[in-house]
Amino acid sequence: MTEEETQQIVQVHDEQDKQLLVDLAGECGARVKDVHVRTLDLVTFVEIIGGVTVLRLIIERWQDRRQGGQVIDLRADAKKIVYRDRGLLFGYVLMMLADGRVEVQVNDRDRLSEIVDRLVAAFSKSDAGTTVDKAVPIVQALVGRDAQVRIEPSDPTAENANS
């Protein structure tokens, strides 16, 4: 280890979590290696080796990506308006609307926070009950070429089947 390098040991939760960390480290020119620690639980630790600034960046990005995608829920009965969902891939924003969903896939993931901030600023609690027709032009204007927008109208047959 050179003087410029340092190390950080982190706990990973599963192989997918570990692979995400390995990929991020590789993108930043750092190395990851397994650390064998005896614990009562089956816990996996890895050591990241690289520059201090790089390690900080890797850990921040890793923790952020593990939280999943962003949801903006503008349905009238929403309990939370803005939250993260691990079931949604990082890089996606899902807008839940009165009559369907709008999915935004962000092209440049480094700009994801900026795009989410723009969307959250454009839609507030007073927009509860917003429809797809009203939301899509606003979303497209805000994200421009930075993202793809896909519309999923609600399925009226599914709603009727549950009645």
State the DSSP H helix or E strand holding residue 71, giving kind and residue range, or none if neither. Answer: strand 69-73
Position 43 scores a pLDDT of 63
Cβ(76)–Cβ(98) below 8 Å: yes
User: pTM of this prediction?
Assistant: 0.64
% the chain with pLDDT above 90: 9
Question: Can you tell me the distance from the alpha carbon of 159 to that of 13, in angstroms, rounded to the nearest whole number?
Answer: 38
Q: Of 24, 41, 66, which one is at a domain's C-terminal end?
A: 66
User: Vertex 25, ends 20 and 3: CA angle to 5°?
Assistant: 150
The CATH number for 43's domain is 3.30.1370.10
Q: Which residues in 52-99 belong to E strands, given as ranges? A: 69-73, 82-85, 92-97
For residue 2, is pLDDT > 70? Answer: no
Q: Which domain holds residue 137?
A: 69-161
Count of the separate structural domains present in the chain = 2
Q: Of 66, 90, 119, which one is at a domain's C-terminal end?
A: 66
Kindly report, residue by residue over 124-139, the tens digit of the pLDDT. 756 666 888 888 888 9
Cβ(135)–Cβ(98) below 8 Å: no
Of 86, 93, 91, the C-alpha closest to 71 is 93
Overall average pLDDT of the 47-58 stretch: 76
